[in-house]
Amino acid sequence: MYLKKAICLLIFISLLQFVFSEDSKSQEFTDEKPQQIELEDLLTETNLDEETLKQELMDEAKLNNDEKNSRNQFENKNLTENENLSENQELSENEENNNQKIIQKIPLSFITEEMLARPEVEKFRRQYLNEKWLKHLYNVLESAMEYRLYVRKSVHDKNLPEILEYLPVVESNYKTSAKSKSGAIGMWQFMANSVYPFLVLDDFVDERLDPWKSTEAALKKLTENYNYFNDWLIAIAAYNCGVGAMNKILRKAEKKDFWYLVDKKLLPQQTADYVPKLIAIADLAINSEYYQINLPNHNEEYEMLINEKNGNFDYIIVEKAYSLKQLAAEMRMDYDTLKKLNPSFVRGMTYPVKKSEIRLPLGMKKSAEDAIAKLIPIDFPFKYTVEKGDSLWSISRKYKVSIQSICDLNDIRENDILRIGKTLYIPAK
């Protein structure tokens, strides 16, 4: 009990000493005096000698000081933990913000945000965000990988708008053998009357079926459209409805602007839908992360693509009719593989007299040349030896085929003079 009193008095004395420490010397002297008096009182009350009492007071003061230090450490620890927690939360928020910054919309060359917000585009965007149509779009883009990469590289090499990679989705779902009700054929849907001068079409060859040649032809045609109209949306629309038809429409319009033509309903409905559909599909495919959907982009495969001349394939040139099936057998390769690389040979054989280029898997040129050397060219069943008085017209009437088809097959012109004894190959009806 006496010890507690001593401690309390000592604490009280310490507080008084702290408060009045800045006072004058006379005040300090006055403060020390009560301290001396209290110490004498404590000696009397506790029955302890002076040295023992001082030691007790010093030990108690040390214990109080340790408790104070411990409390301060605890408070500092809590403060540090709170600061760390605050820092972690801030870092987490920054990381989340950074992640949000990564998934930014990728701009589509000349396509503005205003165009993307058009109701005509939004209609097709909503359609393809539907589960059924999204799955369809995924399958189209996935199955067309080898052709898409070729188109992408060709578009890039020619500095054309990247959305053109997705035009075959609109045209044919990237089907190389697609045929429309109107007669358009191939991945890029060329009509027979629109192939010249871009592609070859005759009784032996239909290059509309060749995805590589038709891609080059389509991009060339689109470039010509752009150079003519100086507007990409109108150029793409003209690919659908034709340059002649677009010229007639523009003559009636007050403005040469695609969206104006749409708003004024001056375009055929198919053409009015054609461009917005392309924009919507390209936007979803290029910005699939932004829309949080799963669509294949094949960026890794694209980085590995070598798409220079003769880069992906080997080629051989022949000047007689050879069967692709016999060539594949002699090379010991799958016929379907060779046919897939040469889909334009619609009769499964090369030209009887004109030069033909056969596309081969890379590294198989020597094998093909050795195989051709062993094959016997096809003795074409339809051939005619020119006699005195013959003309292309009379021969075409005799076999009921067109003059042009005879010229194409024999690499001659309509006004060429026929030499007596010359052999002409006659196409099948």
pLDDT tens per residue, range 10-46: 555 555 454 445 444 444 434 444 444 455 554 444 4
Over the stretch 177-215, which tens digit does the pLDDT of each residue have?
A: 999 999 999 999 999 999 999 999 988 899 999 999 999
Half-sphere exposure of residue 41: CA atoms within 13 angstroms, side-chain side: 12
Over the stretch 257-313, which tens digit does the pLDDT of each residue have?
A: 999 999 999 999 999 999 999 999 999 999 999 999 999 887 777 776 644 444 589
Dist. CA 402–CA 410, nearest whole Å? 13
Residue 404 predicted with pLDDT over 50: yes
Dist. CA 419–CA 112, nearest whole Å? 63
Q: Looking at per-residue confidence, does 232 or 149 come out higher?
A: 232
Residues 6+ apart with CB under 8 A from 374: 330
Helix (H, G, I), strand (E, B) or coil at 352: coil
What six digits make up the tokens of 247? 């010229």
pTM: 0.70
Dist. CA 222–CA 184, nearest whole Å? 17
Dist. CA 20–CA 422, nearest whole Å? 134
Percent of the chain with pLDDT strictly greater than 90: 59
What six digits make up the tokens of 88? 């972690």
